[in-house]
């Protein structure tokens, strides 16, 4: 199994078969109060970057956003893609250390690949919900989250007729993506590691990667 770090959609080459989906880092801000916010940056391979943020304008309510960009190129074969996601949701601290939240998310992006048999490009939309529960202390945080989303491609075209026909015919894919996130460091800044998996509930043979592995840093600022 191949792991694609912090990269949502980037078409990779495995023999002659493209990969049309790879899950990115789940955005798990673990906000607890009005005026609190987080900023984070995560990388996998050197050619992919995932930037995330969230902020609470009102007690128990928060908004989030993230973007991921990636590319891979080998002997003029490879691919690139990006995804911009926004969301809003409800959070609730249970006590000084435990909390839970749920966000609705919507993302738009594009992907293209280059194969010896021809090119394929497409736009896509991903939307769904993401509940999570977590533990927080001054030096350590842990979170269990699960992203349930629908994935659909549109405006698919290219010179590789077989792959264009394939992608146009896949319909809506439903994905369940649980992940464990751990953070360690000082109160305001922590190193983050996330590990998870993407389960395709619609088509187990869909051309996708399944692993979620990423590393990065997260900065937390708190309102007065």
Return d(Cα 111, Cα 163) in angstroms, integer. 13
53 - beta bridge partners? Answer: 39, 65
Tell me how far apart the alpha carbons of residues 197 and 186 are, in angstroms, rounded to a whole number.
Answer: 28
pLDDT in tens, 159-209: 999 999 999 999 999 999 999 999 999 989 999 999 999 999 999 999 888
Strands (E), the chain: 13-14, 17-18, 37-43, 48-58, 61-74, 77-93, 98-115, 118-136, 140-157, 173-185, 189-197, 199-200, 211-221
Rounded Cα–Cα distance for residues 73 and 46 (Å):
12
> Could you report the per-residue pLDDT of 73-99, keeping only the tens digit for each?
654 567 788 999 999 999 999 999 999
Question: In degrees rounded to 5, what are phi and psi of residue 167?
Answer: -70, -35
Q: What is the pLDDT of residue 15?
A: 44
Q: Give the pTM.
A: 0.89
| Cβ–Cβ < 8 Å for 79, 55 | no
First-residue to last-residue Cα distance in the chain: 46
CA 153 to mean position of chain CA atoms: 17
- pLDDT for res 129: 98
DSSP, collapsed to helix, strand or coil, labels residue 164 as helix
């Amino acid at each position: 199994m191949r792991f694609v770090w912090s990269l949502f959609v980037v078409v990779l080459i495995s023999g002659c078969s493209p990969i049309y989906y790879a899950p990115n880092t789940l955005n798990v801000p673990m906000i607890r109060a009005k005026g609190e916010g987080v900023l984070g940056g995560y990388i996998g391979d050197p050619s992919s970057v995932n930037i995330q943020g969230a902020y609470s304008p009102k007690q128990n309510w928060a908004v989030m956003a993230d973007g991921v960009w990636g590319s891979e190129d080998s002997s003029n074969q490879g691919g690139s893609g990006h995804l911009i996601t926004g969301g809003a949701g409800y959070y609730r601290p249970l006590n000084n250390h435990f909390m839970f939240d749920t966000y609705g998310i919507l993302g738009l992006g594009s992907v293209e690949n280059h194969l010896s048999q021809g090119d394929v490009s497409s736009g896509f939309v991903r939307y769904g919900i993401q509940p999570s529960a977590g533990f927080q202390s001054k030096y350590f945080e842990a979170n269990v989250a699960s992203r349930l989303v629908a994935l659909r491609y549109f405006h698919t075209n290219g010179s590789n007729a077989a792959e264009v026909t394939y992608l146009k015919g896949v319909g809506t894919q439903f994905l369940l993506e649980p992940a464990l996130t751990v953070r360690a460091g000082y109160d305001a800044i922590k190193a983050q590691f996330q590990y998870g998996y993407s389960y395709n509930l619609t088509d187990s043979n869909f051309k996708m990667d399944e692993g979620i592995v990423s590393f990065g840093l997260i900065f937390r600022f708190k309102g007065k």
